[in-house]
Amino acid sequence: MKTLFIDDEVKYIGSQLAPHWIYKNFKIQGDAIVAFIGECDVKLSEMVDIEDVINNEPIYSKSMLSFITEQFNIQLVEGVFRQRLLICCIKEALENRGFKIERSGDDLFVNNKKLSVSIATKSLTSVLIHTGINILSEEAPIPVSALENDLGIKDVKAFAIEIMKRYSEEIDDIILASTKVRGV
Q: Give the pairing of strands 126-134 and 116-122.
A: antiparallel
Per-residue pLDDT of the chain (184 residues; tens, 9 = 90+): 999 999 999 999 999 999 999 999 999 999 999 999 999 999 888 888 888 888 888 899 999 999 999 999 999 999 999 999 999 999 999 999 999 999 999 999 999 999 999 999 999 999 999 999 999 999 888 889 999 999 999 999 999 999 999 999 999 999 999 999 999 9
Gyration radius from the chain CA atoms: 16
- Which pLDDT belongs to residue 51? 86
For residue 115, the Cα-to-chain-centroid distance in whole angstroms is: 12
In the prediction, which pLDDT does 54 show?
A: 86
For residue 13, the model assigns a pLDDT of: 96
**Within 13 Å, how many C-alpha atoms sit on residue 92's CB side?**
13
Overall pTM surpassing 0.75 (yes/no): yes
User: What is the predicted pLDDT for the residue at 52?
Assistant: 83
pLDDT at 58: 82
The CATH class of the 2-176 domain is: alpha beta
The region, left, alpha or beta by phi > 0 then psi within -120 to 50, assigned to residue 62 is: alpha
Can you give the pLDDT at residue 26?
A: 98
- Residue extents of the structural domains in the chain: 2-176
Q: What is the pLDDT of residue 76?
A: 97
Nearest of 79, 72, 80 to residue 105 by alpha carbon: 80
The residue among 181, 176, 63, 74 whose CA lies nearest residue 123 is 74
Q: What does the alpha-carbon distance between residue 178 and residue 22 come to, in Å, rounded to a whole number?
A: 27
pLDDT score, position 140: 87
